[in-house]
Chains A and B, each alone.
Chain A
Amino acid sequence: MFEDGTIINELFIERLNYFIYVILLLIGLHGMIAKNNLIKKLIGMSIFQTAIILFYVSVGVKEGATIPIYLPEHDPHGSHASHGDENGTDEAVHGPVVLEAGMVKGYANPLPHVLMLTAIVVGVATLGLALALCLRIYQGYGTIEEDEILAKIERQEMRSKPSIIVKSADSSKSKTSGSDKSVSKPKVSSSTSTKRSKARPKAKAKIASTATKAKTSGAKSVSPKPKPAASKSTTTGTKKSPAKPKTAASKSTSKPKPKSRSKPKAKPPARAKATSTAKKATASKPKPRTPKK
């Protein structure tokens, strides 16, 4: 059906709106799926939603019709006023009348417009919420690039693993965190992250500078689960995961623990204080860290 010339003709000339709406929708969808920057994803999302709205509005178009507001001759109050002045009969007071079928053709269909008003509102609400999430993510990870966020989350979980394992009194065997992770990773993002990890060397310097930040949040994820055996535990923990650089990681996780243990339900400010000491302790160390993958 696609090679049929008339279809193409129809699509491009008569139904340009439908065609462009598909194009915009695809641009938006591609932006949402493939873009790496979170704000870019949101712009894609907005384009996607606007494209759908364009479709609905196109549905409501009627050839030769005016906007869905009554013309003066149909206006319930306009006619009411003029008639009332002229003869003042009872019928005139009840000015509005049901429009005839011929007149109905003269007005555009109001229903799609109403639906789209609601859709626009929902769109802006989603946008606002997602922007707040971006801010929150930036606070936690110091970046809004999806691959970097995933890398940081991965490192954090690697680091917080030992402290969980030690929860049991005896030393239990460490488990494969890698397989866990690859399973649990969101599909959309995992595709980009594998690609990105090859381009890591360029970003290494950046990681070194942001590593302190990552560490602080790593400590944060540990702190809600305090455990008596914490200080002993970190050493066993680092032993368990061989791929990890020992010195920096063990130091950084063991440092904030005593503080955070003392107040398990510390509020963010208090936690931030605990983490700042960790930053101090590790800031001078060079980071020969490479992603595990």
Chain B
Amino acid sequence: MMENAIAWILIFPLFGSVACALLGMGNKKICYPIAVLSMAGSLWGGIETLRQVIASEVHTVSYIFGGWTLDKYPRGVGIEFHADILGILITLVVLGVGFIVAIYSKLPVQDETPNKEPLFYTLFLLQITGLAGICLTGDAFNLYVLIEVAALTGYGLIAMGSNRAAAATFNYVILGTIGASLYLLGVGYIYIKTGTLNMVGIQDVIVANGLADSSTMQVAFVLVGIGILIKMAFFPFHAWLPNAYCNAPTVTSSLLAPLVTKVMIYVMIRMVLSVFGVEFSFESTMWVDVMPWLVVVAIICAAVMALAQREIKRMLAYLIVAEVGYMVGGVWIYNYYGLIGSIFHVISDACMTLCLFLGAGLILRKAKTTHFDGLRGLFSKMPLTMTGFFIGGFSIIGLPPTCGFFSKWYLITGGMVSQRWEYMVVLMFSTMVMVVLFFRLIERIHLAVSESGENLGHGHGDLGLAKEQTRFDEGPLSMLIPLLLAATVVLVVGIYNQDIVNLIEIFLSEFNLPKGEGH
């Protein structure tokens, strides 16, 4: 059982989803416990695997399905799960977010998608299966299949919302398919030159055959890269994200928003570092010269668009696009600290986005709107919710001791060391924008100031607020506790940041990354 822990990570949600589909037809109520239990089981598998990874000498756990072990068969004959420290960390993030959202999901799912609970939880668990699989797999084609598993479940989950959601999902389907297909094509180009699909095997062949200058490999890199960039909603390709996430049901957006883009960034880091290799990705391609500038454009545009939004969910969606820019930039400034920052930011961004979306879900439930104008005086009504929400917000801004501060710190250090001033400036700029965004929100929610600037007090008395608006009225506990849990995680990850960074450093130590100036 223990040695198969890595397989259990996927087996639990997979069988859980089928159980939801089969048993849920008779009794809808059974789906929620099944979902929570299978997520808990999966989380156990993840933690056990992390323990194994840290305990092992090479800091990786290699698990080959079907018993095609490396001692008897060539590498790549079977499909390998290759969990290094980075992979298992991101997997744990996926599972943790999935677990929290599963607890959270009870009431919103009942209310927003009535009579569809079995379908919802089936797709929900399969989404987790797909995302966790993406983080662990060591096979380039298996990655494509798992990306499609995650994508198709995502389409289904989003389209359960309104008609508007269906229209948004269609765009997502088209762009998502283009992205995944380009990735598949890129894998084909890799395969035609290397003859293998195993990620470790590809890296070995690239080094052994000196394929760095091969134009096929260059094009493969571009195709894979563009495919992943589309999937992660990097700025010019972000079109699918805001509409899809705003119109999706609450639980869907709180599951997809923290995970999908981050997991795709993880895929990019993985492709860059361990599939194509540091030398190929950074030295033989022009991406190092081009990408930081694209990142600059991306962050500025996304931040400005976020500033223009008047609705929490839509604003958060644009913030995600900006955050994607941070992380992509952290990779492509080609620096040790930048990569630490990128990886740590993947983790912390997942936590804080989760926090914000869970909070937004609660606000939507209680205030019936997420439009800015409907939020006045909410703090006195639901202080705990708002505390949780703003811990996420502070983390996005980057205030200590939240985790967002530390990840941003590493990103800025990376920019400074590699002398990418444009990246640093744009980080500062977007931090400013986020300060404006969130303090505008705080003003509205906490101080109950009307649009005209007239101070209405703390929501007491009859200063513009009706009685029922000032009553203490928190959301249901099954939703509040996950939110507070997520907020605690944001703080804990921030406080124990050094431990996580140490793990990331162990992972990065095997790559030859510049720690000093220039490249």
List the interface of chain A (C-beta within 8 A of B).
25, 29, 32, 38, 41, 45, 48-49, 52, 55-56, 59, 111-112, 115, 118-119, 122, 125-126, 129-130, 132-134, 136-137, 139-141, 149, 153, 156, 164-165, 167-170, 172-173, 175, 179-180, 183-189, 217, 220-221, 225-227, 265, 267
Contact = CB atoms under 8 A, between A and B. Distances in A.
Given A59-B191, A167-B371, A180 B163 contact: no
B177 interface: yes
Contacts of A164: 369, 371, 373-374
B175 A188 contact: yes
A172 B162 CA distance: 27
Contacts of A265: 111, 114
A52 B185 contact: yes
A167 B373 contact: yes
A172 B164 contact: no
Nearest to B171: A186
Interface of A is mostly: helix
Contacts of B192: 59
A52 B152 contact: no
Chain B contact-residue range equals 35 or more
A140 B165 CA distance: 10
B477 interface: no
Contacts of B141: 115, 118
26 contacts: A52-B188, A56-B191, A59-B191, A118-B145, A125-B148, A129-B156, A130-B170, A133-B166, A133-B170, A140-B164, A140-B166, A141-B167, A149-B167, A156-B164, A164-B373, A168-B374, A172-B451, A180-B309, A180-B310, A184-B243, A186-B168, A186-B240, A188-B171, A220-B163, A225-B369, A265-B111
Contact of A217 (B163, B181, B236): B163
B446 to A, nearest CB: 15
Contacts of B452: 173
Contact of A29 (B111, B163, B178, B305): B178
B169 interface: yes
Contact of A221 (B162, B369, B371, B469): B162
A265 B450 CA distance: 30
A137 B188 contact: no
Contacts of B374: 164, 167-168
Interface of B: 111, 114, 141, 144-145, 148, 152, 155-156, 159, 162-164, 166-171, 173-175, 177-178, 181, 184-185, 188, 191-192, 197, 236-237, 239-240, 242-243, 305, 308-310, 314, 367-369, 371, 373-374, 376, 450-452, 464-466, 469
Contacts of A56: 188, 191
B164 A129 contact: no
B167 A153 contact: yes
Given A169-B466, A186-B239, 20 more contacts: A45-B174, A48-B181, A52-B181, A52-B185, A56-B191, A133-B155, A133-B169, A133-B173, A140-B162, A140-B163, A164-B369, A165-B373, A168-B374, A172-B373, A172-B450, A173-B452, A183-B305, A188-B239, A226-B368, A265-B114
Contact of A119 (B155, B164, B184, B236): B184
